[in-house]
Chains A and B, each alone.
Chain A
Amino acid sequence: MLKRRIIPCLDIQDGRTVKGVRFVNIRDAGDPVELAKIYADQGADELVFLDITATIENRQTLIGLVERIAAEINVPFTVGGGINSVQDVAHLLKAGADKITVNSAAVRRPGLITEMAGEFGNQCIVVAIDTDLIQDNWMVVVDGGRTPVKLKTIDWAIQVASLGAGEILLTSMQNDGKKGGFSIDITAGVSRVVNIPVIASGGAGKMEHFREVFFDTSCSAALAASIFHFGEIGIRELKEYLNNEQIAVRI
């Protein structure tokens, strides 16, 4: 059986992890590679690294980091943040990333998805969709959730799938950081209308939230950041819990 995936996300700035990390047995909490190794050993199915500064000057630092991650980590990983050209993708994949994620740039120019998928295969193109509830409609937002776009999330999801995305990373800005659970309705809606895997993101606060999103939607994976970084939930215990709840995960 294909397992549901658990994916920790690390925010990167100048090649270092941004959000505070509370781990007892970690030598350097700011080193994304150290943290990634711990997660991989705990059973993380994949890792996502988001470069939140994503300036041209920082690109080289990011490439160096991706090379180090690729050398050390034995599970797949995705890199994103400020990607807006086929050239960006080429550099990151060459450095060893398995997949890349593109967000605002794809909203501004949807053809970019097709160009990237055509060049590197759709399996490595993850389109990140940030969504927010605006006047009772789930709408697409860009620039880290600051800018609303006149585009319904469901319509955009269908479009990115047909343009060649291999996977959708769906983040509910409504829920993000609030630890009240994933947004079930839009995650279920998007998972239903597209035939590519959907990663649910935004809102995880406790183990039951993962159970809920896997039970109530057909999403393929769930992503979270702070609850893992602060050790509120251990990846191993989360997967054992889900397994006991009859959700197929890799143990």
Chain B
Amino acid sequence: MIAIIKYNAGNIRSVQNALQRLGYESVITDDKEEILKADKVIFPGVGEAISAMKYLKEKDLDRVITSLNQPVLGICLGLQLMCRYSEEGNTECLNIFNSDVKLFPQVDKVPHMGWNNFFSFRGELFSGVSLKDDVYYVHSYYPEISSCTIAICDYILPFSSAMNKNNFYATQFHPEKSAAVGERILKNFLEI
């Protein structure tokens, strides 16, 4: 079973819908036991860092997430919460990835919204993906590049488009909204 972590962030149903289109059943849950025993865990999210972290802590989900050993996929805010720290509300995050999350300098349109290509990608998540492929982003804060970076996007400046450490994977873009390419990436994760 795939568990989608339920918390006070939007876009959770979209992930479930995307999995359904790929033929995978999933549950949206904030139940500790259910998350711990899932084969795969997805940590989605559109929203704001400080209230999301507060909610996770209240539900003890911060400790649950960091203790997981099965493959975990963070999406968008999910990725940012898996970093060390976010400038959004000066939030201490889960500290899985050794990157900080910063506000884009306002030298171009912010939020970074729309389809963008990415490069320097590596690992099983990107099997079958090409440099020409675009994926869908919506964010005003970006994760810095670090040793956990497994794909880079360049908008205003180069930032981590995807990250990985051990069983933890994450994308700044929304695979569930990224047409066929996104489906491919989700499928790659589900087949890890």
With A70-B17, A74-B180, A123-B138 as given contacts, are A2 and B132 in contact (CB-CB < 8 Å)?
no
Q: Are A3 and B116 in contact (CB under 8 A)?
A: yes
Q: Are A1 and B13 in contact (CB under 8 A)?
A: no
Query: Which of B61-69, B105-113, B163-171 makes up part of the contact surface?
Result: B105-113
Counting CB contacts under 8 A, is B143 at the interface? no
Q: Which of the residues A3, A40, A195 comes within 8 Å of B114, measured between beta carbons?
A: A3
Number of interface residues of A (CB under 8 A): 31
Q: How far apart sit A94 and B11, CA to CA, in the bound complex (Å)?
A: 8
Q: Are B115 and A45 in contact (CB under 8 A)?
A: yes
Q: How far apart sit A243 and B144, CA to CA, in the bound complex (Å)?
A: 31
With A120-B10, A121-B47 as given contacts, are A74 and B179 in contact (CB-CB < 8 Å)?
yes
Q: Are A2 and B116 in contact (CB under 8 A)?
A: yes
Main secondary structure of the interface of B (DSSP, over half): mixed
Counting CB contacts under 8 A, is B46 at the interface? yes
Q: Are B115 and A94 in contact (CB under 8 A)?
A: no
| Residues of B80-133 whose CB lies within 8 A of A | 106, 108-117, 132
**Min CB distance, A118 to chain B, in Å?**
9
CB neighbours of A40 from chain B (8 A): 179
Q: Are B180 and A3 in contact (CB under 8 A)?
A: no
CB neighbours of A197 from chain B (8 A): 109, 111, 113-114
B 1-28 binary contact with A (CB < 8 Å = 1; else 0): 0000000001101100110110000000
Q: Are A121 and B13 in contact (CB under 8 A)?
A: no
CB neighbours of B117 from chain A (8 A): 1
Q: Are B48 and A121 in contact (CB under 8 A)?
A: yes
Counting CB contacts under 8 A, is B139 at the interface? yes
Q: How far apart sit A124 and B46, CA to CA, in the bound complex (Å)?
A: 9
Q: Are A220 and B114 in contact (CB under 8 A)?
A: yes
Counting CB contacts under 8 A, is A221 at the interface? yes
Q: Are A121 and B114 in contact (CB under 8 A)?
A: no
Q: Are B109 and A98 in contact (CB under 8 A)?
A: no
Q: How large is the interface on B (under 10, 10 to 19, 20 to 34, 35 or more residues)?
A: 35 or more
Task: Name which residue of chain B comes closest to A99, CB basis.
Answer: B138
Q: How far apart sit A45 and B134, CA to CA, in the bound complex (Å)?
A: 10
Q: Are A70 and B116 in contact (CB under 8 A)?
A: no
Q: Are A220 and B113 in contact (CB under 8 A)?
A: yes
Q: How far apart sit A76 and B114, CA to CA, in the bound complex (Å)?
A: 9
With A71-B17, A124-B46 as given contacts, are A5 and B111 in contact (CB-CB < 8 Å)?
no
| Residues of A120-146 whose CB lies within 8 A of B | 120-124
Task: Name which residue of chain A comes closest to B13, CB basis.
Answer: A96
Q: Which of the residues B17, B115, B138, B140 comes within 8 Å of A250, measured between beta carbons?
A: B115
Q: How far apart sit A98 and B179, CA to CA, in the bound complex (Å)?
A: 14
Q: Are A123 and B113 in contact (CB under 8 A)?
A: yes
Q: How far apart sit A120 and B154, CA to CA, in the bound complex (Å)?
A: 26
Q: How far apart sit A74 and B136, CA to CA, in the bound complex (Å)?
A: 11
Q: Are B136 and A75 in contact (CB under 8 A)?
A: yes
CB neighbours of A195 from chain B (8 A): 106, 108-110
Q: Are B111 and A123 in contact (CB under 8 A)?
A: yes
Task: Name which residue of chain A comes closest to B9, CB basis.
Answer: A121
Q: How far apart sit A122 and B59, CA to CA, in the bound complex (Å)?
A: 26
Q: Are B113 and A166 in contact (CB under 8 A)?
A: yes
**Min CB distance, B134 to chain A, in Å?**
4
Task: Name which residue of chain B comes closest to A3, CB basis.
Answer: B115
Q: How far apart sit A5 and B112, CA to CA, in the bound complex (Å)?
A: 13
Provide a sorted-by-A list of 11 A–B residue pairs whose CB atoms are within 8 angstroms.
Answer: A1-B117, A1-B154, A70-B17, A74-B182, A75-B177, A75-B178, A76-B136, A98-B177, A124-B46, A195-B108, A195-B110
B interface with A by C-beta (< 8 Å): 10-11, 13-14, 17-18, 20-21, 46-48, 106, 108-117, 132, 134, 136, 138-140, 154-155, 174, 176-180, 182-183
A interface with B by C-beta (< 8 Å): 1-3, 5, 40, 45, 70-72, 74-76, 93-96, 98, 120-124, 166-167, 195-197, 220-221, 250-251
- 6 new A-B contacts at CB < 8 Å, known A5-B114, A75-B136, A221-B114: A74-B178, A75-B179, A93-B10, A96-B17, A121-B46, A121-B47
